[in-house]
Structure 1
Amino acid sequence: MSSNLPTICITGGEPTGIAPDIILKALQQNFNAHIVVLSSKKVLEERAKALNIKTNIIQHSAEDARSPHKAGEIHLLALEHEHAVIPGKLDKQHSPYVLKTLELAAEGCLTGQFDAIVTPPVHKGVLCETGIHFSGHTEFFQQKCNSEQVVMMLATEGLKVALATTHLPLKDVSSAITKESLTQVIEALNKDLKTRFGHQRPRILVCGLNPHAGEDGHLGMEEIETIIPVLDTLKKQGMDLVGPLPADTLFSPKNLENCDCVLAMYHDQGLPVLKYKGFGNAVNITLGLPIIRTSVDHGTALELAGTGDANEGSLIIAINHAIEMANNAKKFPK
């Protein structure tokens, strides 16, 4: 037992999807951290019965935080949710419960009750049906933490990809990339690669926005007018930045050999490569927050809910990354 163990909070996710399945399956192994699940006891018990998973659900107490997670146990901070959950069938009546788990997780991290949050998938569409605009976990935690700039980063073995913009229509990307916003993104990325991953001087490869990185202005002016001036300024401050590089050749083994992270300009520029390389074995990380948050790299997979076929691999990786980042936060304080 160690009182220095990080406490990791796992939110309940979309109850009609695979979130309960992968929580139950992932926690069938030991972790060198204390794990707390924010969920409905009824939801977990019903899904455990459907999957024939034996688990010992324990009401969480402060004393529990001294002990590492034991396989087959779930330390639960229970939320009441009596509305019937039918695996695979979305229902907006679950949305207030889902949002409450996220709110309590954020509050717990901000007050020091938890050292990190791990989020299984939620369904953006059904959350929005309640009249609350929900564009993603990243933006939700940004608002809850009053953070000016956050960075979405996905990581798998041998590759980290961060995004200069997140969930935007493609037509809005160019106008969203300003000198100010790009500077803030790179500063947040560089800082958290140091403090949460232990890179003393992170080497970041930066994608151009346009084909061939604009080809000297013939295919677009964003590189010349925005990206290059920002990179030049930050290089003078000591950052190790390379680019802007054409995205179609940046992801070659030679380029990635000595790279700590790639910064892509928009969602579908960088993430298809990352997910091709490591889908199911990748983790989504939000940087630039005063708290640590990791997530799975997949969606709710409604068709797999309750079948036993959901793969818990990404959740296990997300938990392990959260533990590593929480430990690094103690070694490399901001």
Structure 2
Amino acid sequence: MTVIGITMGCPAGIGPEIILRYFAETTPPTGTTPVVLGDRSILAKCAADLGIEAQFSSWQPGQSVQPQTIPVLELSTIPCESHNWGNPTKETAVAMAEYIIRAVQLIHDGHLAAMVTCPISKSALQKAGYNFPGHTEMLVHLTGAERYTMMMAGTSLKVTLATIHCSLASVPKNITITSISELIRITHQAMRVDFGLKQPRIAVAGLNPHSGEDGLFGREEIEIITPAIELAASENIDVTGPYPPDTVFFKAAAGNYDAVVCMYHDQGLIPFKLLHFQDGVNVTLGLPIVRTSVDHGTAYDIAGKGLADATSLASAVTMAAAISDNRKLYQKATTVS
């Protein structure tokens, strides 16, 4: 049985609600047992506030799960009287960090096969004393990963990003032959190992309109992106481009490519969220552990109001299970060979 840990995220956000809805509305993948790393009292409060039927059971590493219950490894006990939906505190921040830390430990110790993260508050993480911009950087620190990137993954489209949280004006100076070729390698390896494709087809989007039109609209394609593609292609990676951004995503969604390497945040995220706004999954590539995440934030404005949707969480659990299985198959195949 594959045990997957779901970290509750910020206790003041929509994490507790989407967890409750996931267990109430979704059947986990065959052979998969999800367990929650979080706060049982907050989950119970959420169930009571929103009228969601839920039975909880205590779970400890190595234990079997009681059927028809939500198994919880209780890592915090936030008093309900001091808890308010949409209002994070230092106490909730410390708790959400602890869920992440313990999940990594449990994977390392062999008690969990993967972790699925509900949303956290980046500013609250700082208040808790952790100087990380977000989930990913904290996980990189905890696992010692050297090469990593974010992939947004759905059934129709998968994208990785050469730059993420920087201004459009700074994108050109933040892309290099080395960084793009390395991103192509990480994407290629993930598609082979995590998604089980023997020879994934990777497309690279250009930076400028019409991919620069032979230098007329910019020279980044000629001087940076094309050399990076050629370097990666020389390593037996099936990668082509740079393609005009206004057509490459349509072709990828139609099945011509398995993943698209994008130059900046909105270039990749706009088409991705158009197709996968509800069921998109954030996957951290390059970690020694399997980590997927919901593709949305804490949504403090709707927390505790019964408006949250668990579709992304369901997709994240399913994808975590599939990646875990694919990694085992890949390891077995490479060990035999």
- Are the structure 2 counterparts of residues 142 and 254 from structure 1 closer, same or farther at C-alpha, using a change threshold of 3 Å? closer
- How many Å apart are 1:179 and its aligned residue? 2.2
Residue 45 of structure 1 deviates from its aligned partner by 1.4
RMSD: 2.0
1:30 and 2:27 correspond: yes
Q: Please tell me the residue identity of whatever aligns with 1:49.
A: A
SS of 1:20's partner is helix
Which structure 1 residue ranges, 4+ long, deviate > 6 Å from structure 2?
Answer: none
From 135, 152, 155, the counterpart of 1:154: 152
**CA–CA distance in structure 2, aligned partners of residues 261 and 7 of structure 1:** 28
CA 1:85 to 1:164, structure 2 compared with 1: closer, same or farther past 3 Å?
same
TM-score calculated relative to the size of structure 2:
0.90
Within a 5 Å distance, the mapping from 1:1-334 to structure 2 comes to 5-28=1-24, 29-31=26-28, 32=30, 33-65=32-64, 70=67, 72-83=68-79, 84-130=82-128, 132-253=130-251, 256-333=254-331
**Cα contact 2:125–2:134 (8 A) shared by 1:** no
SS at match of 2:301: helix
Following superposition, the deviation at residue 277 of structure 1 comes to: 1.2
- Number of matched residues? 327
User: Displacement, 1:312?
Assistant: 0.7
**2:13 is aligned with what amino acid?**
G
| Whole-angstrom CA distance in 2 between matches of 1:101 and 1:62 | 14
The answer to whether the 8 A contact 1:247-1:269 is kept is yes
- Describe the SS at the equivalent of 1:77: strand
Q: Is the 8 A contact 1:110 1:290 kept in 2?
A: no
Matches of 2:90 and 2:220, distance apart in 1: 41
Distance 1:254 1:91, change over 3 A: closer
Retained in 1: the 8 A contact 2:205–2:242?
yes
SS, match of residue 75 in structure 1: strand
Q: Determine helix, strand or coil for the equivalent of 1:61.
A: coil
5+ unaligned residues in a row in structure 2: which ranges? none
| Structure 1 CA distance for aligned equivalents of residues 281 and 325 of structure 2 | 17
Q: 1:253 to 1:187 in 2, by over 3 A?
A: closer
SS of equivalent to 2:63: helix
Gaps of at least 5 residues in structure 1 are none
Cα contact 2:89–2:124 (8 A) shared by 1: yes
SS at match of 1:304: coil
Is contact 2:163–2:265 with CA below 8 Å preserved after alignment? Answer: yes
Aligned CA distance change for structure 1 residues 202 and 112 (closer, same or farther; 3 Å): same
Deviations 1:195-217 (A, max 9, x none): 11111100011111222222223
How far is 1:63 from its partner? 4.2
Aligned letter for 1:19? G
- Quote the offset at 1:86 in angstroms: 0.6
State the distance in 1 between where 2:76 and 2:252 align. Answer: 52
Cα distance, 1:174 vs structure 2: 2.5
**Residue range with higher mean Cα deviation, 111-120 or 175-184:** 175-184
1:81 offset after TM fit, Å?
3.3
> SS where residue 34 of structure 2 aligns?
strand
Deviation at 1:284, TM superposition (A): 1.0
Distance 1:253 1:216, change over 3 A: closer
CA displacement 1:159-215 (0-9 Å, x = unmatched): 111112232333333333222222222111111111111111000111112222222
Cα distance change, pair 304–30 in 1 and its aligned pair in 2 (3 A): same
**1:128-156 Cα deviation digits (max 9, x unpaired):** 34454332222221222222221211122
The Cα of 1:219 is off from its aligned counterpart by 2.6
CA distance, structure 2, for counterparts of residue 310 and residue 248 of structure 1:
32
Report the AA paired with residue 53 of structure 2.
K
Residue deviations 1:235-289 (CA, integer Å, cap 9, x gap): 1221111111121221224774321111111111111111011201111111111
Partner amino acid for 1:258?
A: N
Contact 1:209 1:222 in 2 (8 A): yes
